[in-house]
Amino acid sequence: MALVPRWVSPDMLTGLGIFGAMLGCLGFAMALTSGVSLSLVAAGFGLNWLGDSLDGRLARLRRTERRIQGFILDNGVDLISYLLLALGFAMSGLVSLPIPFLLLSLYVLLSNLALARLLITGVHDLAIDAVGTTELRVAFVGLAALLFGFPEFFRALIPLLEITVLDFLSLFWASLMLLNFVIVLRRDIRNARQADESLASRLARDPESLPP
């Protein structure tokens, strides 16, 4: 962080993240028409990660952090970025139009659970087990390299199913996300029930211990 020039502000890094998502969107949209599309996707994901990772850290380091406003802004910018990437993927011609938005919707389901968990635990964690947003970005760049390197394979129809290889893999991934949502939801409900029972037991012993 010491290498970041003084003229670079946290808001500029936030803007860099959105610009990266726009580059990624453009790269995906040009997947079948341009030889530079993969470079745009890789650069877009890199800039998006850089801006998203450093804006909050820089604000804390310079003591200009806006905790509540920054949290809302960060979540809003993330959703805009993911929408742009889903839009580019949908326009790529590599996958059926609804699938990127289905994947985005499932991600929003998981992120909403994370926000509900934040209310209870005070910890905001969007990681799925050991896989966080950084690992997902790296995985998507690797996936983009495969898609752009072997587009005909991923666009080939699977016999009997009459869907492309990429559509099948995307729907399989969506199924895993939905399964993970159900597992995480059940776990969070169980943890919340235990927290409620613990609070009720404490209040029964000491009615004055009600948390603020």
Q: DSSP class of residue 128?
A: B
Tell if the pTM clears 0.85, that is, is over it: no
State the average pLDDT for the chain.
84
Could you tell me which CATH class the domain 10-209 is placed in? Answer: mainly alpha
Report the pLDDT value the prediction gives residue 68, as an integer from 0 to 100. 82
The values of phi and psi at residue 157, to 5°, are: -80, 140
Average pLDDT over residues 177-198: 87
Q: What share of the chain is helix, strand, coil (3-state, %, to 5)?
A: 75, 5, 20
CA distances from 129 to 30, 133, 210 (A): 33, 11, 33
Among the residue ranges 8-12, 64-68, 154-158, 167-171, the one predicted with the least confidence is 64-68
Cα–Cα nearest to 28, from 83, 86, 77, 80: 86
Distance CA 173, CA 162 (A): 18
Question: Does the pLDDT value for residue 184 go beyond 80?
Answer: yes
Q: What is the CA 162 to chain-centroid distance, rounded?
A: 30
